[in-house]
Structure 1
C-alpha cells in the first residue's frame, strides 16, 4: 500500500456506503481500501481496482491489524444506542489505528451538541500522546432517513405518535445520508490533494441541513405523505418505552435501551439538533434537498 492509502471503515451501511460511492470519482482506486463486516456487499467496487477487506467492530483480532499500511482513516461511528459498548469499540479501533501508524483520522459521529466551535474533543489527547498524528471530527447532522427513531417508528396506519416531546421548540436540521457521504468524501479529497493547507485539521465540523424543522413540522409532512391526520401525543418516558415497537427497536444484546434513548428528546429541547452549518452546502455546491422530498 502507498503512503497515501485511505481506508473507510465500516464501508457499508448508510453513511459508509454513500461515502464510498462519492470517494470513487475523487481518489485514485489504488489508494483506497474499503473495510466492512460483510465485504461481499462491496463487490461492486472491486472491479474499480479498490481493495476490499473484511473486519468487524466487535472483533479485536480483526481490528488489530486492519489498519496496517494506512495513512488516512475515515472511521464511522459504531451504529448502536449502547453508549458504553459503542465507546469501547470505537476507542479500541482508534488505538489499533494508532498502533498501526495511521497519521490522520476523520471520525464521523452524530451531530448533537450544537455549535461545534464551542465543543472540545478527546481527540486532542490522542494528538498530545502520539507524535505525527492529526484528526478531523465530522459531526453528521441527523439524517432524514432515521426519522422513525424520533417518531416511535411511525408507519402509515398510525394516527398518533407517542413521544416524550410536544413537537415544539428548537427543531432539527435534517439532512440526507447521500449528501453526508458526498460532503465527507469532498472533505477527504481536499485533504489528500493539499494536506498542508487543509483548513479543518484538529477541528470539529458539522455537516447539517440548510434549515431546521420542528418535530411538529416533521410530523405534519408525514401526515401529508400518509394522506391522513397524524399528530404528536406527548407521553411520559415510561409510556414511550412501553410501546412494543420501541422495545423491539432499542433492544441490543438482550438489554432494552428505549428509556435511555429518550435523552435524545431532551437534547432536542436544548437545541442540540437545531444548529445549522453552511459547510455541507459549500462542500457539495448545490442546494440541499428539502426534507419532504427525500423522506423514506
Structure 2
C-alpha cells in the first residue's frame, strides 16, 4: 500500500524543501499533498504533480477535509505567533478525527520550559503542541530543531561586514543547523521506517558563540569582524532608534538572551545519524552568504 504524505505550510521555506527532498528520494508526486492557504502560490508544486489542498490552521473544517486519507502529516509550525497555539491544536484535533496515522512536528530545542524563558512567547506554542500530539494517541515523530543557520544573518544585521556583530548573546553558544539539512532529515524519516513515537535532537555537532561567528566570518572575508555585546536594554533602544518594529526587537532580544543562557547549546544530536553525514558547518554557511 502506498503511504500518503501531507506537508503543511507547503509554500514556505521548510515545507517546499521537504517536498523537494521527498521527490529526490523517489516518493511519487501522487502520494504527496501540499496544504496551502493560497493556491496561486503553489503553482510550481502543482506543476510537479503534487496534490494541492487548500486549508487554513484557523479553519477546522478545511483541515479536516485536507487530512482525509492521509497517513503521515508533516505539521510545520506556523508563523502567526499570537494564534499559533490554538491553530496547531486545531490541526492535531483534525488529524485525529480524520484518522491520520502519524504526525511529524517541527518543534524546537530548549532546556527551560517555564515562563522565565526569554523566549517563552515562542516556546509555549511548541510545548503545547508537543503535549497535544503525544496525548492524541497518534504515532508521532517530534523534531527538536535548533536555531537555523539561516536566521543568523538577521541576528548579525545588514552592516555586519562594515561595523561588526551587534547582538546581546554574551558568550552563549548554539548548535545552529541549516534549514535544508533539517528538511532533508524530515524527508528521510518520512520515507523510512522505525521513527514512531520518537523525539529527535536536531542539532549541529558543534556549538558556536558569537565570538566564533565573528572570527570565522573575519577569516572568510579577510577582515576583522568585531563582536559588540550590548546589554539587552541598550540593544532594544538602538534597534528602536533604527526604526525596527517592536515585535522584532522583542524577538531578537529574546533569542539573544536565550542564547546567552545556553538554551541552544547541546552535546547530543540525532541529525548526523539521520543524514548519514555531518550537517552543514557554520563556516560553509557563512561562505555561501558572504562570499558573493
Superimposed CA distance per residue, residues 183-205 of structure 1 (whole angstroms, 9 cap, x where no aligned partner)? 110011113xxxxxx1x322221
Once structures 1 and 2 are overlaid, which stretch shifts more, 102-111 or 220-229? Answer: 220-229
2:106 to 103, 108, 112: 108
Partner in structure 2 of residue 182 of structure 1: 184
Q: Secondary structure at the match of 1:262?
A: helix
Structure 1 runs not aligned, ≥5 long: 115-119, 192-197
1:12 and 1:246, CA in 2 relative to 1: closer, same or farther beyond 3 A? farther
In the alignment, structure 1 residue 272 sits paired with structure 2 residue 277: no
Partner in structure 1 of residue 92 of structure 2: 94
Q: How far 1:67 moved relative to its partner? A: 1.6
Partner in structure 1 of residue 24 of structure 2: 25
1:237 and 1:23, CA in 2 relative to 1: closer, same or farther beyond 3 A? same
Rounded Cα–Cα distance in structure 1 between residues aligned with 2:251 and 2:43? 37
1:220 and 1:61, CA in 2 relative to 1: closer, same or farther beyond 3 A? farther
Q: How far 1:66 moved relative to its partner? A: 2.4
Query: 1:96-175, aligned counterparts within 5 Å?
Result: 96-113=94-111, 123-128=130-135, 130-131=136-137, 133-151=138-156, 153-156=157-160, 158-166=162-170, 168-169=171-172, 171-175=173-177
Partner in structure 2 of residue 11 of structure 1: 10
Rounded Cα–Cα distance in structure 2 between residues aligned with 1:51 and 1:125? 27
- When you count helix as a share of all residues, which structure comes out higher? 2
Rounded Cα–Cα distance in structure 2 between residues aligned with 1:101 and 1:123? 18
Rounded Cα–Cα distance in structure 2 between residues aligned with 1:15 and 1:247? 30
Partner in structure 2 of residue 281 of structure 1: 272
Q: How far 1:232 moved relative to its partner? A: 2.2
Partner in structure 2 of residue 230 of structure 1: 225
Q: How far 1:123 moved relative to its partner? A: 4.0
Q: How far 1:176 moved relative to its partner? A: 1.5
Partner in structure 2 of residue 117 of structure 1: none
1:33 and 1:218, CA in 2 relative to 1: closer, same or farther beyond 3 A? same
Superimposed CA distance per residue, residues 168-215 of structure 1 (whole angstroms, 9 cap, x where no aligned partner)? 24x221222111111110011113xxxxxx1x3222212222211111
Partner in structure 2 of residue 220 of structure 1: 215
Once structures 1 and 2 are overlaid, which stretch shifts more, 140-149 or 52-61? Answer: 52-61
Q: Decide whether the 8 Å contact of 2:4 with 2:32 is kept in 1.
A: yes
1:246 and 1:180, CA in 2 relative to 1: closer, same or farther beyond 3 A? farther
Superimposed CA distance per residue, residues 17-45 of structure 1 (whole angstroms, 9 cap, x where no aligned partner)? 21111011332322110122344444334
1:221 and 1:7, CA in 2 relative to 1: closer, same or farther beyond 3 A? same
Rounded Cα–Cα distance in structure 2 between residues aligned with 1:246 and 1:147? 22
Q: Decide whether the 8 Å contact of 2:205 with 2:269 is kept in 1.
A: yes
Q: How far 1:77 moved relative to its partner? A: 0.7
Q: Secondary structure at the match of 1:65?
A: helix
Q: Decide whether the 8 Å contact of 1:3 with 1:70 is kept in 2.
A: no
Instruction: Calculate the aligned-residue CA RMSD, in Å.
Output: 2.9
Q: Secondary structure at the match of 2:144?
A: strand
Partner in structure 2 of residue 194 of structure 1: none
Partner in structure 1 of residue 44 of structure 2: 44
Structure 2 runs not aligned, ≥5 long: 113-126
Rounded Cα–Cα distance in structure 2 between residues aligned with 1:78 and 1:28? 26
Rounded Cα–Cα distance in structure 1 between residues aligned with 2:214 and 2:230? 16
Rounded Cα–Cα distance in structure 2 between residues aligned with 1:11 and 1:248? 32
In the superposition, the TM-score normalised over structure 1's length comes to 0.78
Query: 1:235-246, aligned counterparts within 5 Å?
Result: 235-244=230-239
Rounded Cα–Cα distance in structure 1 between residues aligned with 2:250 and 2:50? 42
